[in-house]
Amino acid sequence: MAAGAAVCLVFLGSAIAVPSETAAKSVDFDREIRPILSDTCFACHGPDEKQRMAKLRLDTKDGLFEERGTHKLVVPGDLASSLLYQRISAPDKAKRMPPPYAQRHLTDQQVDLIRRWIEQGAKWELHWAFVPPKRAELPKVSDTKWPRNAIDHFILARLEADGLKPSPEADKAALIRRVTFTLTGLPPTPAEVDEFLRDTSPNAYETVVDRLLASPRYGERMALQWLDLARYSDTHGYHIDSHRDMWRWRDWVIGAFNRNMRYDEFTVKQLAGDLLPHPTLGDRIATGFNRNHMINFEGGAIPEEYQNEYVVDRVETTSVAWMGVTLGCARCHDHKYDPFKQKEFYRFYAFFNTISEKGLDGRKGNAQPVLQLPSPDQAKQLQAVSDGICAHEEALPKDSELDVIQAAWEKTALSSLPDPPREVLLSHYELDGNLADTSGHYRHGRTVRGDLTYGSGPVARAADFDGETQVDFGDAATLESTRPFSLALWLKPGGNKEMAVLQKVDDASGRRGYELYFEDSQVLRRLRRGSRLYLRLAHHWPDNAMEIRTREPLELDEWHHIAMNYDGSGKASGFTLYLNGKPAEIETVKDHLTGSIGSKAPLSVGNVALGKPYRGSMDDLRIYGGVLAVADVEQLAIHQPARASILILPKKRAKSQAENLRDYFLTRAAPPDIQKIWTELRDLQHEKEELDWTVPTVMVMQEMDEPRETAILGRGDYRSRGEQVSPGVPAVLPVMGKDLPQDRLGLAKWLMDSGNPLTARVGVNRYWQMHFGTGLVKTAENFGSQGEPPSHPELLDWLATEFIRVGWDIKALQRLIVTSATYRQSSRTTPELIEKDPENRLLAHGPRFRLPAEMVRDNALAVSGLLVEKTGGPSVSPYQPKGIWEEIAYGDVYSAQTYVQGRGDDLYRRSMYTFWKRTSPPPELITFDAPDREKCTARRTVTNTPLQALALMNDPTFVEASRKLAEHTIHKAGPDAARRIRFAFRLATARLPDGKELQVLRNLERTELAEYRRNQAAARKLLSVGESKCDAGIDPGELAAWTTVASTILNMDETITSE
């Protein structure tokens, strides 16, 4: 919650807490004084030691009653001796606190409240949320007949204290509609309404509740709220926002709720299912909860930075979902309002910093670690391939034996390996620590700008260009379009923008000459996928030039051998490209060259005057005055690296050089039996890679073999490592038992311990929020001092202890809430109630709130008969305006960049199965306040905007639903217009329209019928919306008119409201 709103909440809480404001009223420190201090004082005099001024703390008992020189801050019952009161009430503004320059100041009413608190004895209390809940006795009430269960005693006691009475029970039609929505997320059918209306037994309502709790739709409804908390999505987020598959975790959640899995078990499995003894497949899938966070793999991103962000996200999500606290606010410094130190944040962080994950991952879908979920056939194939791999690995000699065999081969290998081609070699730059030309022509290069560095490469050493260094090779390789030539070199591109590898160009305008460069692609610039390689020959760019490019991009940070042959024909068809020794496809960009490409400019790398500095590595550059044979290309790409590695002493070879030489030896030079085993092993490994790609997976939690060390990060920066810490929980909360392991499993069990003051409260508050629209604690995401106090603290504690008492039984808790007289009240209000309690926090009437976004859509589908009630499975793609994804996409390089609408049943599934893209959530759902799911959401905002009405009238889903509702109405209700209106109205609202409503809709139908019979084209256009077939047996004008009537009914406030 925004800090600025806290003052308002203080007074709202105060107004709810007591029947009237009088001087004799007892001031409650935790509910009335602490929020004032938190909002106006804690920023400078609170938990954050680094921001604390005057070494003064007002957030602790010791600090608040501390002696300051000759005075005490607070002296119970003595205003004159209480320095705190003297400073906040000082007439002199220069002495008054907060000071004039502070952003927040105390009102006269707040100063008076502090005065009364001191006069009454200045009783101090620990913040209510950090004190274990106490099970209060049921309050005595005057109206002993009204309560149906314990909940009602607490509600009625408050109402009677405020001189209010509860509302009558809602009529049966409204009640079944309300409870069906809140327990299943769908409306009741007319048959279900009729059955309830006919049932006059005392337990008729309870029978309905039990039926709904047993429905498979219940699990979907419950999961919907949990998906917000878990930040569930079908994409990774960040700029690329490509596809992931986590729907199997979503389906596990639905199943868990339908099976009524106990909340403690539900918690342990999601936080630490993989750490349970002998975890099942379901246990491991459950841990996907903390893999639902965003994942990055963009160009320029730093792995360590994002791995840190993932762990921070888990801390924030876990602390909000189970503890209702903003522990994430202690990431950079001690919490400014709650008693959480930065060190405690990182001790909590340590529980989640042991996952075997990469900072940059997810390029090809799910990010490691993943759990494979093969079909039975796939499982058999995987097992067979894995067995084959194991058998071949065992058949291979041990590494030590291979070392001996390979060493013997290396002694004579150089004499048997083919020599690199030297015929028509114009220039050769080995780049082994210098720029010497070893072709015999002595066209040595020189560094013009910057410092050229060298590292290991495929052929001994390689030159590393940082984007600032320029190298010139003089007049080397003066080529012409009428003569054949070849370029051969190793490249490891490391840049993420257009950059020239080689240039011999006169100037930046006409660009006469030739250049080898990587494209400047907005799609690829910000990604780490790679760029396509271009070769341009130009007499004058762009009108007299020839240009080709690779069909596929070259991966960044990978070595590639490029050999480009040109036959001197003057045509683009004269080019041949080889990548890593094999022919590669090229595309012609331009093919109109008639003039000379001769240039007097030097051959260069990194010439900033041409605007294209190179960043990456280069090795073994060769330029030939003729076309290379296939065998020559193979020698340069395959044999030459082996020759170079053999010349390096084994102990001095880079790891990549040693691995590549071992592969070369086993593939081409080892004894035949070993070659056969190695070749078959490589084939099996490739087959497994291909098979792995087809096997569905889900991201899960999995411990590292060697856990990372966790340190306090200065200002939350991954680069600023400080004191090392071990896993632990905040000191203000109960300690972890010595019998608990110091890992995620121990943390989960600590959370579910009955002595934990937060978990049960947070859980029951969220379920209360689900049924009443607002929790007993309105700020469901923040039970700390900046959150709103509970409207009914004793009820909240009673429910928390009851939740624990019944064994964390979620369905039992839900049944208790919805069978209470409080829930069953009519939602109709009065001017008196609106004035006294505009948000219905006192609950003098039943809940009334707009349906969540998903239910708005699902209701229309259900009422119209379009809804497909299939449970689970991959996410689907219903109607969506064209071009939305494409506006923010990166071309077709990655998945989930172009929206492809589904067909058939996929268009009519429940909204919780809609494909969720974080950077572009389903538009009709976010229009009705669905979150983007980038972060944990415990409470959705609720807005009312004209755009929502426009969506209901014009979105294809609702237009098609209106048509199908009209068809259904015409067939079922017969020809009488009034009967049709009653039929459609009751489908949408569970009640019949009154006389005025009936007349308005009847007049609308007459007007629309006349219009559409006059304008048949407009009728056909309206009826063409949607994939479902239009009923050809109904007159188009009539159907269009009734479609408009149905649309009006579906657009009513009552239709999209639970009341």
* Each residue's pLDDT tens digit, 267-325: 999 999 999 999 999 999 999 999 999 999 987 789 999 999 999 999 999 999 999 99
Query: Average model confidence (pLDDT) for the chain?
Result: 93
* Each residue's pLDDT tens digit, 805-822: 999 999 999 999 999 999
> What is the dihedral angle through the alpha carbons of 534, 535, 540, 544, rounded to the nearest 10 degrees?
-90
| pLDDT above 50 (res 663) | yes
Contacts for 9 with CB less than 8 Å, ≥ 6 apart: 1, 35, 778, 779, 788, 789
Reported confidence tier of residue 70, pLDDT bands at 50, 70, 90:
confident
Reported confidence tier of residue 531, pLDDT bands at 50, 70, 90:
confident
By the 10 Å C-beta count (0-12 exposed, 13-18 middle, 19+ buried), 46 is classed as: buried
Q: Provide the pLDDT for residue 9.
A: 28
By the 10 Å C-beta count (0-12 exposed, 13-18 middle, 19+ buried), 589 is classed as: middle
Q: Provide the pLDDT for residue 265.
A: 99
The residues with which 617 forms a beta bridge, in sequence order, are 464, 492
Q: Provide the pLDDT for residue 496.
A: 56
Quote the tokens at residue 867: 């809804």
Token look-up 């598959």 returns 245
Contacts for 482 with CB less than 8 Å, ≥ 6 apart: 568, 570
Element (H, E) at 380: helix 376-395
Reported confidence tier of residue 607, pLDDT bands at 50, 70, 90:
confident
Q: Cβ distance 697 to 372 under 8 Å?
A: yes
Single-letter residue type at 205: Y
| pLDDT above 60 (res 948) | yes
* Each residue's pLDDT tens digit, 639-651: 999 999 999 999 9
CA distance 440 to 446: 17
Question: Closest Cα partner for 677 from 687, 666, 691?
Answer: 666
Please state the rounded mean pLDDT for residues 915-937: 98
Q: Which of 45-59, 147-161, 402-416, 513-527 has the lowest mean pLDDT?
A: 513-527
CA distance 639 to 632: 10
Domain assignments of the chain as residue spans, ordered by start: 3-125, 374-421+649-691, 428-628, 954-1058
The vertex-1054 CA angle with 1052 and 1055, nearest 5°, equals: 70
Reported confidence tier of residue 10, pLDDT bands at 50, 70, 90:
very low
CA distance 529 to 553: 8
CA distance 483 to 496: 34
Q: Provide the pLDDT for residue 264.
A: 99
Q: Which fold has domain 428-628?
A: Jelly Rolls (2.60.120)
Q: What is the reported pTM?
A: 0.83
- The SS3 assignment for 498 reads coil
**What is the DSSP annotation of 938-1001?**
SS------HHHHHHHHHSHHHHHHHHHHHHHHHHHH-S-HHHHHHHHHHHHHSS---HHHHHHH
| pLDDT above 50 (res 528) | no
Please state the rounded mean pLDDT for residues 521-526: 44
CA distance 1001 to 1050: 12
Q: Provide the pLDDT for residue 6.
A: 32
* Each residue's pLDDT tens digit, 544-580: 999 999 988 888 889 999 999 999 999 999 999 999 9
| pLDDT above 80 (res 8) | no
Question: Closest Cα partner for 702 from 376, 1009, 258, 275?
Answer: 275
Please state the rounded mean pLDDT for residues 361-366: 90
Q: Provide the pLDDT for residue 1.
A: 33
* Each residue's pLDDT tens digit, 410-440: 999 999 899 899 999 999 999 999 999 999 9
Q: Provide the pLDDT for residue 41.
A: 92
CA distance 899 to 877: 8
Please state the rounded mean pLDDT for residues 485-514: 87
The CA radius of gyration of the chain, in Å to the nearest whole number, is 36
Q: Provide the pLDDT for residue 530.
A: 66
CA distance 795 to 695: 50
Q: Provide the pLDDT for residue 902.
A: 96
Contacts for 900 with CB less than 8 Å, ≥ 6 apart: 877
Q: Provide the pLDDT for residue 954.
A: 97
Q: Give the rounded percent of residues in the chain with a pLDDT score beyond 70.
A: 96
CA distance 928 to 922: 10
Sign of CA dihedral 651, 653, 654, 656: negative
Question: Closest Cα partner for 444 from 459, 433, 428?
Answer: 428
Alpha helices in 142-188 (DSSP H): 150-161, 172-184
Reported confidence tier of residue 475, pLDDT bands at 50, 70, 90:
confident
Measured between alpha carbons, how far is residue 1002 from residues 178, 609, 983, 1036, 1041 in Å?
A: 28, 76, 13, 18, 11
Contacts for 788 with CB less than 8 Å, ≥ 6 apart: 1, 9, 12, 13, 777, 778, 779
Better-predicted residue by pLDDT, 475 or 904: 904
Q: Cβ distance 362 to 297 under 8 Å?
A: yes
Please state the rounded mean pLDDT for residues 682-687: 95
Quote the tokens at residue 30: 């935790």
Q: Cβ distance 485 to 491 under 8 Å?
A: no
Q: Cβ distance 821 to 147 under 8 Å?
A: yes
| pLDDT above 80 (res 522) | no
Task: End-to-end CA distance of the chain: give it in Å, rounded.
Answer: 27
| pLDDT above 70 (res 613) | yes
Single-letter residue type at 501: V
* Each residue's pLDDT tens digit, 95-129: 899 998 888 899 999 999 999 999 999 999 999 99
Q: Provide the pLDDT for residue 224.
A: 97
